[in-house]
Amino acid sequence: MLEIDGVSINYGPVSAVRDVSLKVEQGEIVALLGPNGAGKTSLLSAAMGLRPLAAGSIRFKGEDMRRLDTESRVRRGLTLTPEGRKVFANLTVLENLDLGAATRARGADFHADIEMCFELFPILAERRHQTGGSLSGGEQQMLAIARSLMSRPSLLMLDEPSLGLAPRIVGQIFRLIRDLRQRDLTILLVEQNAHEVLRFADRAYVLSTGECRYSGPAARLQEAGALMQAYIGEL
């Protein structure tokens, strides 16, 4: 579904990602792991068209993404829930969700999708008229994911959804990610919380200092704990 092939990304003279290839097949949960500064966020940003490629190509559902702007990629079913959530603090929950649907026509299914979000996240239904800024960290993360779902993605990329959340809430977010797969969503998940994620991911990639150090089944990475400890630090 998503094919990242030989991608390099630079920030001026700084090389952030070098010759990285990554595939996500339909229905998979793929974990993208690695320490701070490894290049994970840069790779997701490039997939969305938010960072230019210095080399390589990105295909989604067989189509070359390089000439498409971010909005066109979202329309084709690719979306990103960014690191740090980035909910609109002064807008209500409903207004945030409304903005998530900005790339699509507003038909009857718009309301059905709002209801689907409220079914997935009952707390958001309770808080629908509250502003994003008044929500807790966990609720903001739920809102950020729900906002992404409003664009009707087929591939959802999540950048560190557990960052800064209490362990109980992290468990809730991870359960939700597994539920989303049951709803036909394909997921590419960037996480620091490698140990938890490898329990439910199908495959994993490990980036370190801009290069791919591992790609293969999540279970095999878990078994290779000692080897990977150097890169992920917590297995």
Q: Taking contact as CB under 6 A, which single stretch among the options 9-17, 60-68, 101-109, 124-132 is the one that binds ligand ATP?
A: 9-17
Strand pairing category for 55-60 and 63-64: antiparallel
Q: Tell me the two tokens of residue 188.
A: 């590419």
Which of 14/226 has CB closer to ligand ATP? 14
Within positions 28 to 47, which residues make up the interface with ligand ATP, using CB under 6 A? 34, 36-42
Tokens 């409903």, residue?
94
- Determine contact, residues 198/221, Cβ cutoff 8 Å: yes
User: What is the closest distance, in whole angstroms, from the C-beta atom of residue 51 to ligand ATP in the complex?
Assistant: 9
Which of 8/92 has CB closer to ligand ATP? 8
| Residue 11 sits in the site that holds ligand ATP (CB under 6 A) | yes
Written as one letter, the residue type at 227 is L
Letters for 71-90 (x = contact with ligand ATP by CB under 6 A, - = none) are ------------x-------
Size of the site for ligand ATP (CB under 6 A): 12
| Residue 16 sits in the site that holds ligand ATP (CB under 6 A) | yes
Which of 36/182 has CB closer to ligand ATP? 36
Which of 3/83 has CB closer to ligand ATP? 83
Within positions 87 to 126, which residues make up the interface with ligand ATP, using CB under 6 A? none
Q: Tell me the two tokens of residue 79.
A: 């979306």
- Determine contact, residues 81/158, Cβ cutoff 8 Å: yes
User: What is the closest distance, in whole angstroms, from the C-beta atom of residue 32 to ligand ATP in the complex?
Assistant: 9
Distance of CA 191 to the CA centre of its chain: 9
* CB-based contacts of 76, cutoff 8 Å, min separation 6: 60, 61, 63, 68
Strand pairing category for 55-60 and 29-33: unpaired
User: What is the closest distance, in whole angstroms, from the C-beta atom of residue 151 to ligand ATP in the complex?
Assistant: 22
User: What is the closest distance, in whole angstroms, from the C-beta atom of residue 21 to ligand ATP in the complex?
Assistant: 16
- Positive or negative torsion for Cα 68, 71, 74, 79: positive
d(CA 32, CA 44): 10
The footprint of ligand ATP (CB under 6 A) covers 11, 14, 16, 34, 36-42, 83
